[in-house]
Amino acid sequence: MKFYIKFDGIAACKVIVREHLDALGIKYEMLSLGEIIINNKISEADFDKLQKDLARYSIEIVSNPKNQLIQRIKDTIVELVHEPDMPLTTISVYLSEKLNLSYGYISNVFSEYTYSSIENYFIIQKIERAKKLIIEEELTLTEISYMLNYSSVAHLSGQFKKTTGLTPSMFKRIIERRRLSAKTS
Protein backbone atom coordinates (compact mmCIF):
# COMPACT_ATOMS: atom_id res chain seq x y z
CA MET A 1 0.00 0.00 0.00
CA LYS A 2 1.18 3.52 -0.78
CA PHE A 3 -0.12 6.74 0.73
CA TYR A 4 0.86 10.37 1.07
CA ILE A 5 1.14 12.42 4.22
CA LYS A 6 0.55 16.10 4.72
CA PHE A 7 2.27 17.77 7.65
CA ASP A 8 3.17 21.10 9.15
CA GLY A 9 6.89 20.93 9.93
CA ILE A 10 6.80 23.87 12.32
CA ALA A 11 3.94 22.41 14.38
CA ALA A 12 5.61 18.98 14.40
CA CYS A 13 8.88 20.49 15.62
CA LYS A 14 7.10 22.31 18.46
CA VAL A 15 5.41 19.07 19.58
CA ILE A 16 8.71 17.16 19.54
CA VAL A 17 10.51 19.85 21.55
CA ARG A 18 7.65 20.11 24.08
CA GLU A 19 7.60 16.33 24.59
CA HIS A 20 11.34 16.19 25.25
CA LEU A 21 11.35 19.20 27.58
CA ASP A 22 8.40 17.74 29.52
CA ALA A 23 10.07 14.32 29.74
CA LEU A 24 13.10 15.94 31.37
CA GLY A 25 10.90 17.93 33.78
CA ILE A 26 12.18 21.23 32.43
CA LYS A 27 9.93 24.24 33.08
CA TYR A 28 9.78 26.44 30.00
CA GLU A 29 7.87 29.00 27.96
CA MET A 30 7.67 28.46 24.22
CA LEU A 31 7.67 31.75 22.34
CA SER A 32 7.09 32.20 18.64
CA LEU A 33 9.90 31.82 16.11
CA GLY A 34 11.56 28.85 17.82
CA GLU A 35 12.52 30.71 20.99
CA ILE A 36 12.26 28.93 24.32
CA ILE A 37 12.78 30.40 27.76
CA ILE A 38 13.97 27.89 30.38
CA ASN A 39 12.46 28.81 33.75
CA ASN A 40 14.50 26.51 35.99
CA LYS A 41 18.12 25.48 36.31
CA ILE A 42 18.97 22.67 33.92
CA SER A 43 21.86 20.31 34.53
CA GLU A 44 24.56 19.91 31.92
CA ALA A 45 23.64 16.20 31.63
CA ASP A 46 19.98 17.04 30.93
CA PHE A 47 20.98 19.72 28.44
CA ASP A 48 23.27 17.26 26.63
CA LYS A 49 20.50 14.64 26.60
CA LEU A 50 18.04 17.19 25.21
CA GLN A 51 20.50 18.19 22.47
CA LYS A 52 21.16 14.55 21.56
CA ASP A 53 17.45 13.59 21.58
CA LEU A 54 16.46 16.56 19.42
CA ALA A 55 19.32 15.90 16.98
CA ARG A 56 17.58 12.63 16.04
CA TYR A 57 14.88 14.83 14.44
CA SER A 58 17.41 17.25 12.90
CA ILE A 59 16.47 19.85 15.50
CA GLU A 60 19.45 21.82 16.72
CA ILE A 61 19.76 24.05 19.76
CA VAL A 62 21.43 27.23 18.54
CA SER A 63 23.62 29.02 21.08
CA ASN A 64 25.72 31.48 19.03
CA PRO A 65 23.90 34.89 19.07
CA LYS A 66 24.43 35.56 15.35
CA ASN A 67 23.28 32.04 14.45
CA GLN A 68 20.26 32.61 16.68
CA LEU A 69 19.45 35.78 14.76
CA ILE A 70 19.81 34.02 11.42
CA GLN A 71 17.48 31.27 12.61
CA ARG A 72 14.98 33.89 13.82
CA ILE A 73 15.16 35.60 10.41
CA LYS A 74 14.53 32.30 8.61
CA ASP A 75 11.69 31.35 10.97
CA THR A 76 10.09 34.78 10.56
CA ILE A 77 10.22 34.51 6.77
CA VAL A 78 8.75 30.99 6.82
CA GLU A 79 6.03 32.19 9.21
CA LEU A 80 5.22 35.10 6.88
CA VAL A 81 5.08 32.93 3.76
CA HIS A 82 2.76 30.42 5.45
CA GLU A 83 0.28 32.96 6.83
CA PRO A 84 -3.15 32.29 5.29
CA ASP A 85 -3.52 35.99 4.45
CA MET A 86 0.03 37.07 3.75
CA PRO A 87 0.26 40.76 4.67
CA LEU A 88 0.89 43.29 1.93
CA THR A 89 4.19 44.59 3.25
CA THR A 90 7.78 44.50 2.15
CA ILE A 91 10.06 41.86 3.63
CA SER A 92 12.32 44.60 5.00
CA VAL A 93 9.51 46.29 6.96
CA TYR A 94 8.09 42.97 8.14
CA LEU A 95 11.44 41.70 9.47
CA SER A 96 12.37 45.01 11.07
CA GLU A 97 9.05 45.16 12.92
CA LYS A 98 9.01 41.49 13.96
CA LEU A 99 12.63 41.35 15.10
CA ASN A 100 12.80 44.93 16.38
CA LEU A 101 16.11 45.53 14.58
CA SER A 102 17.14 47.69 11.63
CA TYR A 103 16.83 45.97 8.28
CA GLY A 104 20.37 47.00 7.35
CA TYR A 105 21.77 45.10 10.34
CA ILE A 106 19.51 42.08 9.74
CA SER A 107 20.45 41.97 6.07
CA ASN A 108 24.19 42.31 6.72
CA VAL A 109 24.27 39.53 9.34
CA PHE A 110 22.18 37.23 7.15
CA SER A 111 24.35 37.76 4.06
CA GLU A 112 27.59 37.47 6.02
CA TYR A 113 26.70 34.08 7.49
CA THR A 114 24.60 32.48 4.74
CA TYR A 115 26.34 33.92 1.65
CA SER A 116 22.89 34.70 0.28
CA SER A 117 20.45 37.58 0.53
CA ILE A 118 17.26 37.73 2.55
CA GLU A 119 15.39 38.48 -0.66
CA ASN A 120 16.71 35.29 -2.25
CA TYR A 121 15.74 33.22 0.81
CA PHE A 122 12.28 34.86 0.76
CA ILE A 123 11.78 33.98 -2.92
CA ILE A 124 12.87 30.38 -2.32
CA GLN A 125 10.37 30.07 0.54
CA LYS A 126 7.58 31.55 -1.58
CA ILE A 127 8.34 29.10 -4.39
CA GLU A 128 8.39 26.19 -1.89
CA ARG A 129 4.95 27.33 -0.68
CA ALA A 130 3.75 27.63 -4.29
CA LYS A 131 4.94 24.05 -4.96
CA LYS A 132 3.10 22.84 -1.87
CA LEU A 133 -0.07 24.65 -2.95
CA ILE A 134 0.18 23.17 -6.45
CA ILE A 135 0.62 19.67 -5.02
CA GLU A 136 -1.95 19.79 -2.21
CA GLU A 137 -4.62 22.26 -3.24
CA GLU A 138 -6.90 22.62 -6.20
CA LEU A 139 -5.97 26.25 -6.77
CA THR A 140 -5.31 28.05 -10.01
CA LEU A 141 -2.00 29.80 -10.59
CA THR A 142 -3.89 33.09 -10.35
CA GLU A 143 -5.14 32.16 -6.87
CA ILE A 144 -1.66 31.04 -5.81
CA SER A 145 0.00 34.19 -7.12
CA TYR A 146 -2.60 36.28 -5.26
CA MET A 147 -2.06 34.30 -2.01
CA LEU A 148 1.71 34.86 -2.21
CA ASN A 149 1.40 38.57 -3.09
CA TYR A 150 2.79 38.31 -6.60
CA SER A 151 1.85 41.18 -8.88
CA SER A 152 0.84 38.72 -11.61
CA VAL A 153 0.91 35.07 -12.65
CA ALA A 154 3.74 35.97 -15.01
CA HIS A 155 5.82 37.24 -12.07
CA LEU A 156 5.17 34.03 -10.10
CA SER A 157 5.93 31.91 -13.18
CA GLY A 158 9.17 33.77 -13.85
CA GLN A 159 10.45 33.32 -10.29
CA PHE A 160 9.23 29.71 -10.23
CA LYS A 161 11.13 28.88 -13.42
CA LYS A 162 14.25 30.74 -12.29
CA THR A 163 14.24 28.85 -8.97
CA THR A 164 13.18 25.35 -10.09
CA GLY A 165 14.04 25.26 -13.78
CA LEU A 166 10.39 24.46 -14.54
CA THR A 167 7.31 26.52 -15.17
CA PRO A 168 4.49 26.01 -12.65
CA SER A 169 2.45 24.30 -15.37
CA MET A 170 5.27 21.85 -16.14
CA PHE A 171 5.71 21.18 -12.42
CA LYS A 172 1.96 20.49 -12.08
CA ARG A 173 2.01 18.08 -15.05
CA ILE A 174 4.97 16.17 -13.56
CA ILE A 175 3.14 15.82 -10.23
CA GLU A 176 -0.04 14.65 -12.00
CA ARG A 177 1.92 12.06 -14.02
CA ARG A 178 3.59 10.75 -10.85
CA ARG A 179 0.22 10.43 -9.14
CA LEU A 180 -1.22 8.62 -12.15
CA SER A 181 1.70 6.18 -12.35
CA ALA A 182 1.49 5.58 -8.57
CA LYS A 183 -2.18 4.66 -8.91
CA THR A 184 -1.50 2.21 -11.73
CA SER A 185 1.43 0.49 -10.01
**How does pLDDT run across 94-122, given as a tens digit for each residue?**
999 999 999 999 999 999 989 999 999 99
The total domain count for the chain is 2
CATH of the domain at 154: 1.10.10.60
- All residues at 6 or more sequence positions from 38 whose CB lies less than 8 Å from its CB, including other chains: 26, 27, 28
- Residue after which a domain boundary falls, among 30, 61, 92: 61
Q: What is the residue range of 11's domain?
A: 1-61
pLDDT of residue 1: 66
pLDDT score of 63 more than 90: no
Instruction: Please enumerate in sequence order all residues whose Cβ is within 8 A of that of 42, keeping only pairs 6 or more positions apart, or say none.
Output: 24, 26, 50
Q: Is pLDDT at 6 greater than 70 in this prediction?
A: yes
Same structural domain, 149 and 71: yes
Element (H, E) at 112: helix 103-114
pLDDT in tens, 30-58: 876 677 888 888 888 988 999 999 999 88
Which of 13, 33, 61 corresponds to the end of one domain? 61
User: Are both 79 and 135 inside the same structural domain?
Assistant: yes
Kindly state whether residues 83 and 132 are assigned to the same domain: yes
